[in-house]
Amino acid sequence: MKYFITLFLVVAIIFSSCSTKEQTSEKQVEKIVYPETKKVDSTRVYHGVKVEDPFGWLEDDYSEETKKWVEAQNKVTENYLSKIPYRDQIRKRMTELWNYPKKSIPSKQGDYFIYTKNDGIQNQSVYYISKDLKSEEILIDPNSLSKDGTTSVTGVSISDDSKYAAYSYQQAGSDWTEIKVLDMSTKKEVSDHIKWVKFSGASWYKDGFFYSAYDDPGKKGEFSNKNEFHKVFYHKIGTSQEQDELVYADKEHPLRYHFAWVSENDKYLILSCSEGTSGNAYKIKKLDQPNAKFITIINDFENDHGVVDVENDEVLLTTNYNAPNYRLVKFNLSKPAKENWQDVLPNKEYVLEHAEIINHQIVAQYLKDVTSLVEFYSMTGEKLGELKQPGLGIVTGISGKKDEDFMYYGFTSYIYPHTIFKYNKDGDDEVYYKPEIDFNPDDYVSEQVFYKSKDGTKVPMFITHKKGIKMDGTNPTMLYGYGGFQISIKPSYSTVNTVFLENGGVYAVANMRGGNEYGEEWHKGGMLHNKQNVFDDFIAAAEYLVEKKYTSHEKLAIYGRSNGGLLIGAVMTQRPDIAKVALPTVGVLDMLRYHKFTVGWGWAVEYGSSDEKEHFENLIKYSPLHNVKEGVEYPATMVITGDHDDRVVPAHSFKFAATLQDKYKGDEPMLIRIDVNAGHGSGKPTAKIIDEWTDMWSFTMWNLGVKEIKK
């Protein structure tokens, strides 16, 4: 793809410990008076079952009543957090640790290398270009696009002739994207402006580019209306969006995504179609033939595929069809049927994550026990060698071209800060960029353990902590998880984890089913009717940490985002005794109505839909919103969302927090923190990230009984 993608690291910070007795005596906070949330008579009927939805009015995020509720809730939360004595100290230390120069992997586009740099605590990383990676100049500085840093540039694509650069940007964390174009000779914007783009960049062809967009959702439907009829357009430079050519649309299937990009040789337009977050079809069009039609190469949505290359009508494709850990196949466009697919790299016992062609060789990136393995092959599948990595960790990205004999790649682990290497054709590695940071890996240990889940399944977990800490059950511990959508949660250094580690904390990440850590069977083991396995895997991880005396239930905090927010909501309602603190963040918490908003319909392949009786009966069992009970001692909870989250709409969090506050009568706080001018997380400015994590860890430490932190 001709896209340049910037990755933003998710960060964490944590706390030191004290005894349970100290916790009781030291944590004295006045009883919280929550805002009154009105309850309305609202009953929805699902397959003959009546389900009350008394806080359903909070789904209207444009109403004045909802806005006043948000303001009142934030006021209560801010009042609570402001009384935590070391909140400012956490913010100061987090800012210190974050403040070091960062750089991304360079990508070659046209005549230029393009990459991002951040001087430390800039709200957004700045895009640079260079022809030789020695001298450089700024292409675009996102920090100049808004005063508060909430406008982010999500990708830049340079035309083949290097005359223009299209950049995609988002505002206030929304998934809605706009595209503008720069004249590369002047770095000034030209008149081209594309709106209502979502989940798409710009892929150049001749004097224009392809992109995907929706129709204008209307003023009040921008952040919550269901998105339908994703279309592919071609925009010619110098024309208006209204003149753009409609390249592909599917009038029969409104709930499908369509993504198009141009092959590296500029001869083929590749179109991926999907009905959700897994399973896709493919069509390919020959661009060098006038009036050519799309050739369907895969027409079902039963498996996951990825086009690696098309040359002389020969297609290279990764697929998990008849290959749960993926394989690389080849076939001719004239005979695309699956029976004609020939293995180039067959299915292995570990997962093929990605493949690309560099220096006319296949570079295959595998995942083996949640660590990277990169192997080199000839175009016919003969193994040529392996990439020697600095240790057990993750290759974060590989950048190279088919006709170039070098590549750049990034490497990280939980205790190895992200470093960029240049790899040459003779097999030599050299460090291209290594961050200078106040962190000594020799002071810490990061180990992988395997534990048994409820049904006996062996699940991996990474545990990171300072060397020499005592395993006596008193260590403050954070357990993180995700478990879904084929997303593998892999080792990655996080700057603010340093605060956690230097104060004797334990940071654990469970690699539950639902992800892609062990291929499609691992994914299927945690989706649809198997979703309970994910929650069981996470609960078993917590029990392992307690059993092995890393921590205790009174010293354990649990955290997850998005699908991971669902995880935390489900676990805390199923096992409220499992942890002392719960942080469900931007979570999918109303499992009966998630598909009614924005792109939630695309998750039905993962969760199932309440529109179908068999799935309703499964979803209602674990839907966090519908499993909050009266008289139960829940963990200290801070629900977190953003008012511009148009992926997992904030109504999920609003209704869950209102239900907790209504039904819970104990002493633990049931708060909600609603970030203003923020979305699901993408493009969030540094200042807002630091503010959010300051509040998260202030809340967590205080409710774990921590009296002070060391720095």
Question: What is the Cα–Cα distance from 638 to 136, expressed in whole angstroms?
Answer: 44
Residue pair 500/15 in contact (Cβ under 8 Å)? The answer is yes
The secondary structure element, H or E, covering residue 377 is strand 371-377
Distance, C-alpha 520 to centroid of its chain: 19
Q: Are strands 477-480 and 458-466 parallel, antiparallel or unpaired?
A: unpaired
Asked about 680 being catalytic, the answer comes back as yes
Question: Hey, what are 572's tokens?
Answer: 């805390």
Length of the chain measured in residues: 711
DSSP 8-state class, residue 635: P
Half-sphere exposure of 73 (CA within 13 A, CB side): 29
Per-position DSSP letters for 452-494, written without gaps between them: E-TTS-EEEEEEEEETT---SS---EEEE----TT--------
Question: What is the Cα–Cα distance from 381 to 302, expressed in whole angstroms?
Answer: 26
The secondary structure element, H or E, covering residue 52 is strand 49-52
Q: Which of 104, 562, 609, 653 is catalytic?
A: 562
Residue pair 264/275 in contact (Cβ under 8 Å)? The answer is no
Q: Are strands 351-358 and 361-368 parallel, antiparallel or unpaired?
A: antiparallel
Residue pair 199/170 in contact (Cβ under 8 Å)? The answer is no
Question: What is the Cα–Cα distance from 416 to 86, expressed in whole angstroms?
Answer: 28
Residue pair 325/353 in contact (Cβ under 8 Å)? The answer is no
Asked about 212 being catalytic, the answer comes back as no
C-beta neighbour count of 131 within 10 angstroms = 13
Residue type (1 letter), 253 = H
Half-sphere exposure of 640 (CA within 13 A, CB side): 28
Question: Mind telling me the catalytic residues?
Answer: 562, 680
